[in-house]
């Protein structure tokens, strides 16, 4: 019996000695106990050793991650090691969220192990590896208690290293709790008041949240948006109130629904520094100059082909009221009010969606196939009215096209509304900078910029109404007005065709066929309604007209979700390639010159520029001569990656043309291109 007791004591003493050789022993502090443990109980020169700082806090108490969030402090370790021995940084477990409204913190509840790797030099000649560390931490529940402790122990150095059985399970659990490192990196942007990132190649997981290791970058308590789109995870969160500078690189931890963490490196998007300079420049820009730019852009919008057909309706009205100055002035004021309020409403919706995390920009409403189809029907119906098939304003169509043709305040106001809706796909010169400035400012300033834009667009009618000399230039009313009204139907038909083409690009050829069938039904409804207006007898025509309108709307509703979703048209020649941030980065890293064109099928300015300046034989020859890769990004349907790219250059809509020449800063080309713009720019850059 004595022999058995002696043997058991010997075994316990051996385990105690082994544990003592690989552990500092426990230290007790308020609401937390800690120890420092070594992976090995004997070491040899030239090897690496993991040290585990083991925390066990009381129930409901927690410590903090490298980025503690809105409050707290991360644990820090001050190592005192023999000469030549080096310690790496702390290897953190996957953190947890701790919501303490209105704050959000990141840290660890329950037993926590922080690993650090020591490297022993090959010429280490000491018999003992003396390890000493001073550790500072903060442990919190509703109150926080700072604490510190010193840990010290020695590990024998021998020819053969021996692992510690005492530490094996602890370190194994610590490594399992760490986020799984991924051999990929993503890119992030600062867009307006939000942080956004696009990451491709992630594991097939349902990610529920993310942690950024960079402090004072995001508003920790703000909602996080995580969206999977076209093979990429898109992340978004509001910027921190104290955000000052974007880090070049930092660690991001993504957490899946089952709690598994994944870590990767996020890098600043290409030319983020340039975007920062632009933002600084814009923020320091005189407000009066921005408002002047917005007004000039709105004025030029009147010349855009997507706006002219609608404005022609109001031009006829003003011509018809020549000699009635008060009526002209009233019409101009109501038209201006419709324009300005519509711009403000669009701005309000855009800013609200931005605040909610949606990736939208100027012209966003025409990214909805349903709205595109509705506008196509409306312009087609207006054209039929101008052609004399039907007269709106007597009943059914009173809420749509008829409102724009009524005389007086109501007709003028809704003509302004329709003009703004149709004008939104166009970006006139000076508008880009003004819109880019607006979306980076507080809501009040942003709305002021949109008011200036609306006033600029309404200015021609205000000038005609309030300057008699200009009004006298208008021809006197006569029979010519009816002829002109019928002629103006054709620009409306062409506009409806353009919108139908956009709809087809968004949804597919089958959906376009259904839209055209709906247009036939709408024409039949207008014909029946016109017959009833002439006779004012019977009820069959109105009933059938309403039925055909319902049929037209149902066809569009049916076509949109079931149609084949159209993708960006693929290049039929080696002239251009589809844009992606990764492709652009690869080309630039290889030292290739790159031209990026951000466009959309509903953007008239974009299509004209491509036809006149980018798809010409001279431009193709210039691209080939200077070995420029032409990348085209299609924003016809909503694309968060393209939206983020636009924000880099303080733009909120298309077109945007950026030329990247090796060794030179990115050059933004004008919004209106001439046939020689690209060739001349390439020639100049090649000589620098």
Read off the CATH number of the domain in which 140 is found.
2.60.40.1250
Question: Is residue 202 assigned to a domain?
Answer: yes
Question: Is residue 13 assigned to a domain?
Answer: no
Euclidean distance between the first and final Cα of the chain, in Å? Answer: 95
Phi-psi region of 479 (alpha: psi -120 to 50; beta: other; left: phi over 0): alpha
Question: Is residue 677 assigned to a domain?
Answer: yes
Q: In this predicted structure, what is the pLDDT of residue 315?
A: 56
Other beta carbons within 10 Å of 15? 12
Give yes or no: residues 138 and 236 share one domain.
Answer: no
For the chain, state the CA radius of gyration: 34
Q: Is the distance from CB of 421 to CB of 309 less than 8 angstroms?
A: no
Distances (CA, A) of 142 to 60, 99, 108, 532, 679: 9, 11, 15, 76, 66
Question: Is residue 7 assigned to a domain?
Answer: no
Give yes or no: residues 294 and 203 share one domain.
Answer: no
Question: What distance in Å separates the CA atoms of residue 241 and residue 402, rounded to the nearest whole number?
Answer: 49
Give yes or no: residues 658 and 678 share one domain.
Answer: yes
For residue 248, give the CATH number of its domain. Answer: 2.60.40
Distances (CA, A) of 326 to 166, 178, 333, 462, 528: 95, 76, 11, 12, 37
Give yes or no: residues 307 and 256 share one domain.
Answer: no
Give yes or no: residues 234 and 250 share one domain.
Answer: yes
Give yes or no: residues 105 and 208 share one domain.
Answer: no
Give yes or no: residues 103 and 198 share one domain.
Answer: no
Sign of CA pseudo-dihedral 350, 355, 360, 365:
negative
Q: In this predicted structure, what is the pLDDT of residue 402?
A: 43
Give yes or no: residues 188 and 157 share one domain.
Answer: no
Q: In this predicted structure, what is the pLDDT of residue 574?
A: 52
Sign of CA pseudo-dihedral 435, 440, 443, 448:
negative
pTM for the whole thing? Answer: 0.43
**Domains of the chain: total:** 4
Give yes or no: residues 429 and 466 share one domain.
Answer: yes
Question: Is residue 570 assigned to a domain?
Answer: no
Residues 243, 248, 253: CA angle, nearest 5 degrees: 80
Q: Is the distance from CB of 264 to CB of 182 less than 8 angstroms?
A: yes
Q: In this predicted structure, what is the pLDDT of residue 332?
A: 80
Question: Is residue 380 assigned to a domain?
Answer: yes
Provide φ and ψ at 432, rounded to 5°.
Answer: -55, -50
User: What residues of the chain score a pLDDT lower than 70?
Assistant: 1-21, 191-192, 230, 270-286, 303-325, 350-368, 371, 391-408, 421-442, 471-482, 484-485, 488, 506, 536-542, 545, 558-574, 602, 604, 638, 652
Q: In this predicted structure, what is the pLDDT of residue 561?
A: 52
Give yes or no: residues 419 and 487 share one domain.
Answer: yes
Question: Is residue 211 assigned to a domain?
Answer: yes
Distances (CA, A) of 277 to 284, 304, 581, 650: 11, 31, 21, 10
Please report where in the chains the tokens 């058991």 appear, as a residue.
8
Q: Is the distance from CB of 179 to CB of 94 less than 8 angstroms?
A: yes
Question: Is residue 386 assigned to a domain?
Answer: yes
Give yes or no: residues 432 and 307 share one domain.
Answer: yes
Last residue of a domain, one of 236, 269, 302: 269
Give yes or no: residues 491 and 512 share one domain.
Answer: yes
Q: Of 297, 313, 319, whose CA–CA distance to 653 is shortest? A: 297
Q: By residue range, what is the domain housing residue 147?
A: 19-176
Last residue of a domain, one of 520, 538, 562: 562
Last residue of a domain, one of 176, 210, 232: 176
Q: Is the distance from CB of 115 to CB of 175 less than 8 angstroms?
A: yes
For residue 629, give the CATH number of its domain. Answer: 3.40.30.10
């Amino acid at each position: 019996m004595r022999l058995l007791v002696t043997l058991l004591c010997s075994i316990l003493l051996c385990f105690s000695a082994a544990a003592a050789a690989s552990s500092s022993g426990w230290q007790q502090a308020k609401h937390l106990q800690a120890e420092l443990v070594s992976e090995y109980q004997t070491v040899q020169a030239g090897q690496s050793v993991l040290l585990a700082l083991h925390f066990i806090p009381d129930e409901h108490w927690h410590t903090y991650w490298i980025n503690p969030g809105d409050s707290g402090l991360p644990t820090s370790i001050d190592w005192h090691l023999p000469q030549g021995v080096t310690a790496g940084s702390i290897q953190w477990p996957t953190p947890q969220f701790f919501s303490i409204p209105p704050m959000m913190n990141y840290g660890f509840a329950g037993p926590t192990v922080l690993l650090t790797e020591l490297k022993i030099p090959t010429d280490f000649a000491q018999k003992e590896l003396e390890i000493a560390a001073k550790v500072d931490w903060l442990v919190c529940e509703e109150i926080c208690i700072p604490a510190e402790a010193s840990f010290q122990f020695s590990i024998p150095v021998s020819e053969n290293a021996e692992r510690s059985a005492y530490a094996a399970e602890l370190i194994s659990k610590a490594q399992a709790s760490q986020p799984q490192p991924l051999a990929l990196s993503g890119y992030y942007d600062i867009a307006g008041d939000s942080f956004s990132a696009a990451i491709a190649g992630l594991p097939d997981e349902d990610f529920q949240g993310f942690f950024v290791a960079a402090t004072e970058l995001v508003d920790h308590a703000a909602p996080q948006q995580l969206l999977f789109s076209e093979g990429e995870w898109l992340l978004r969160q509001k910027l921190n109130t104290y955000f000052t500078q974007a880090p070049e690189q930092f660690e991001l931890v993504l957490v899946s629904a089952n709690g598994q963490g994944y870590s990767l490196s996020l890098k600043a998007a290409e030319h983020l520094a340039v975007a920062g300079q632009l933002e600084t420049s814009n923020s320091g820009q005189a407000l009066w100059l921005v408002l002047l730019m917005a007004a000039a852009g709105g004025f030029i919008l009147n010349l855009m082909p997507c706006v002219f057909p609608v404005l022609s309706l109001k031009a006829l009205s003003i011509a018809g009221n020549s000699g009635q100055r008060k009526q002209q002035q009233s019409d101009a004021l109501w038209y201006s009010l419709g324009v300005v309020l519509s711009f403000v409403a669009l701005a309000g919706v855009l800013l609200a969606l931005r605040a909610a995390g949606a990736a939208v920009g100027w012209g966003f409403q025409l990214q909805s196939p349903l709205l595109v189809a509705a506008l196509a029907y409306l312009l087609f119906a207006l054209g039929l009215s101008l052609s004399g098939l039907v007269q709106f304003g007597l009943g059914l169509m009173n809420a749509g096209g008829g409102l724009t043709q009524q005389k007086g305040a109501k007709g003028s106001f809704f003509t302004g509304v329709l003009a703004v809706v149709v004008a939104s796909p166009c970006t006139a010169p000076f508008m880009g900078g003004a819109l880019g400035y607006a979306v980076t400012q507080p809501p009040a300033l942003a709305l002021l910029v949109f008011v200036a834009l609306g006033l600029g667009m309404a200015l021609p009618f205000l000038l005609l109404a309030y300057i008699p000399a200009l009004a006298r230039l208008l021809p006197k009313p006569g029979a010519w007005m009816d002829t002109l009204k019928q002629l103006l139907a054709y620009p409306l038909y062409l506009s409806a065709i353009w919108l139908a083409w956009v709809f087809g690009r968004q949804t597919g050829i089958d959906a376009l066929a259904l839209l055209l069938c709906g247009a036939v039904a709408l024409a039949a409804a207008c014909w029946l309604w016109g017959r009833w207006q002439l006779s004012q007898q019977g009820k069959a025509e109105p009933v059938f007209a309403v039925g055909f309108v319902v049929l037209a709307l149902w066809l569009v509703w049916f076509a949109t979700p079931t149609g084949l979703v159209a993708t960006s048209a693929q290049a039929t020649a080696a002239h251009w390639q589809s844009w992606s941030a990764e492709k652009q980065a690869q080309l630039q890293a290889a030292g290739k010159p790159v031209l990026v064109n951000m466009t959309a099928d509903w953007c008239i300015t974009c299509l004209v520029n491509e036809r006149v300046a980018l798809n010409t034989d001279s431009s193709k020859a210039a691209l080939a001569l200077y070995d420029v890769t032409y990348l085209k990004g299609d924003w016809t349907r909503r694309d968060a990656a393209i939206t983020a790219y636009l924000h880099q250059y303080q733009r909120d809509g298309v077109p945007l043309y950026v030329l990247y020449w090796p060794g030179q800063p990115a050059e933004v080309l004008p919004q209106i291109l001439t046939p020689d713009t690209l060739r001349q720019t390439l020639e100049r850059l090649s000589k620098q």
